[in-house]
């Protein structure tokens, strides 16, 4: 089974949900499409959606909700369908 990595193009803070009260965008083990939002990157109070980029099953998050991230950092991994 091939693995795909989801990489952040931006520096900032990674969030798995839109607000502290919201449910996570997606959970580990969920089937996702290329345009499924898996999280947000916040840079100076501006939020950018981070999408899966490829269809598959979300196998792991490599950063926690609220963690700082750098450009090129792997945020999550997907297993091919």
Give the residue ranges of the chain where pLDDT is below 70: 1, 81
Q: How many CA atoms lie within 13 A of 62 on its CB side?
A: 14
* CA gap 80, 59 in Å, rounded: 10
Residue 2: predicted pLDDT = 76
- Could you tell me if 7 and 76 are in contact, meaning their C-beta atoms sit under 8 angstroms apart? no
pTM of the model: 0.92
Q: How many CB atoms lie within 10 A of CB 45?
A: 5
Q: Which domain holds residue 48?
A: 1-77
How many domains are contained in the chain?
Answer: 1
Q: Quick one: CA torsion of 47, 50, 23, 2, rounded to 10 degrees?
A: -170
């Amino acid at each position: 089974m091939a693995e795909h990595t989801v990489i952040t193009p931006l520096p900032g803070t990674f969030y798995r949900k839109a607000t502290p009260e919201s449910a996570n965008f997606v959970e580990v083990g969920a089937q996702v499409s290329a345009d499924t939002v898996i999280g947000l990157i916040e840079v100076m109070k501006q939020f950018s959606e981070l999408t899966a980029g490829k269809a598959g099953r979300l196998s792991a998050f490599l950063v926690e909700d609220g963690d700082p991230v750098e450009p090129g950092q792997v945020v999550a991994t997907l297993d091919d369908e």
